Structure 1
């Protein structure tokens, strides 16, 4: 979501735009560490790393369909520690998906490119609506993409004054409505934005 085709721009807005992701929150956290210099690194050492979630409303020029909306809510997460690797990322996200979808949930990771992580991966869940046989929601593939993720690029850590030879971490971002759509087996994401009380009442038991 850093391409010009994904962004809503405004005329005469002094450079302001509708944010396409909540990654700026991660940047601000790292910036505070960098601004504190040695004190920031000492705090990082004492705490054993960084762990946080950044929820927020985001906007993208997506075509409206059963799994896309130009406005949705996103949650990004970041973990920085010592010795963090891809196995920590995959284990954490697989555990979260099994907590959401049940112990039998099937997930898969696919290599993908994001400029701020290396390596990058997208995670899919077996389509709960069709069980993987293929439907209009999963576009016949049997899988639905839920999030993008990866190991934080060493340059990102270095810009914050964090030694990438000592520290490493992972980050991910997922859409709230699409996840809720899959958990509740709702066939169309647009229902979450239509303010239909009959539909909204069915979400009362969604934990």
Structure 2
């Protein structure tokens, strides 16, 4: 690196242009040889050092003899040259990288970077959703803070239903002044998205709804105030209970293996009629009976049923606010089925987990088992 201070013959435009072009060429030549951090630092001190930096020395020498009218163009060119030097310092050490690659000892073990993994709950949720995507369902989502109308009223929960009580549902504070249907709460299931979807669009509808829900439950081995659900809704003409049974039988086989059997037992849910609980043959003992299935050979997994006409009536009432003649969801022409399953329950069965709290503990010893 040269410490020579070039001579500036005059302050005319041609001489200034030539002088600074020479300095810029020197910067480019020296910058091309920056192959190490030490070389970069030496280059920085040589050009930008506060006391003996070449740029400062040249600036002082040229500016002292410059007439007043030449100082502005000189200052502009010095700033441009300084920017070129700084850009050279910020550029990656391409030559150094090439040299480092050539110097790698390929016989040494490489540095292993452990990639992140999906949380086991998210992984199970994605697996469930993917099964229904293959059946032509799409995914719909909705808010976790819901109104009483979407969470309860439209789903045929009567005003005095126990689920509306604060012992079961987490209510948002300061809602008593609002009309009952507009009061906010943390959704207790993902079913409100079914109502929102039907209000927003006409059949045919085939959706699957994954998401987080909240209930006022004490935490224990099988309960948590926060958990996840995947629900589904199919609405069209001529949808029957046989369609529901075939859909869920296929889904259970896709999730747990082709040998799994399903059976349906009568049940009750306010928003479906008829309703059923679905059991699968125990995946641990093959239906022979063991401790995990309480020696019954069956494991209860989810609930389902045909959409209650009262739900269609609530949807129709809401749609008629914008179109008084709307009759899209007339139960004489439209039928549908719905189902819902807990993601934690399925994940616990899949992985043999005995305590739901492990999913939320953040214990790396537990989570690393799924890496």
Q: Same fold (TM over 0.5)?
A: yes
**Pair 1:19-2:187 in alignment:** yes
**Pair 1:58-2:213 in alignment:** yes
CA distances 1:110-153 after superposition (whole Å, capped 9, x unpaired): 11111111100111223435555343x54565433221110011
The structure with more strand, counted as a fraction of residues:
1
Aligned mates of 2:309, 2:171 — CA distance in 1:
31
**Pair 1:168-2:323 in alignment:** no
Q: Stretches of 4+ moved more than 4 A in 1? A: 129-132, 137-142
Partner SS for 1:110? strand
Q: Identify which of structures 1 and 2 has the higher relative contact order when contacts are C-alpha pairs closer than 8 Å and 6+ apart.
A: 1
Q: What RMSD, in angstroms, separates the aligned Cα atoms of the two structures?
A: 2.3
Which position in structure 2 is the counterpart of 1:31? 199
Structure 1 residues without counterparts, runs of 5 or longer: 34-39
Task: Please report how far the alpha carbon of residue 58 of structure 1 lies from its aligned counterpart in structure 2 after TM superposition.
Answer: 0.6
Aligned mates of 1:102, 1:151 — CA distance in 2:
26
Aligned mates of 1:60, 1:142 — CA distance in 2:
30
Which position in structure 2 is the counterpart of 1:9? 171
Query: Which of 141, 145, 148 does residue 300 from structure 2 map onto?
Result: 145
**Pair 1:81-2:236 in alignment:** yes
Which position in structure 1 is the counterpart of 2:227? 72
CA distances 1:45-64 after superposition (whole Å, capped 9, x unpaired): xxxx1011111111123343
The 10-residue stretch of structure 1 (163-172 or 65-74) with the greater mean CA deviation from structure 2: 65-74
Structure 2 residues without counterparts, runs of 5 or longer: 1-151, 158-162, 177-182, 317-326
How many pairs are equivalent? 190
Partner SS for 2:251? helix
Q: If you compute each CA radius of gyration, which structure gives the higher value, 1 or 2?
A: 2
Query: Which of 256, 268, 281 does residue 101 from structure 1 map onto?
Result: 256
Task: Please report how far the alpha carbon of residue 200 of structure 1 lies from its aligned counterpart in structure 2 after TM superposition.
Answer: 1.7
Task: Please report how far the alpha carbon of residue 198 of structure 1 lies from its aligned counterpart in structure 2 after TM superposition.
Answer: 2.4
TM-score, length-scaled by structure 2: 0.47
Q: Residue 60 and residue 144 in structure 1: after superposition, are their counterparts in 2 closer, same or farther (change >3 A)?
A: farther
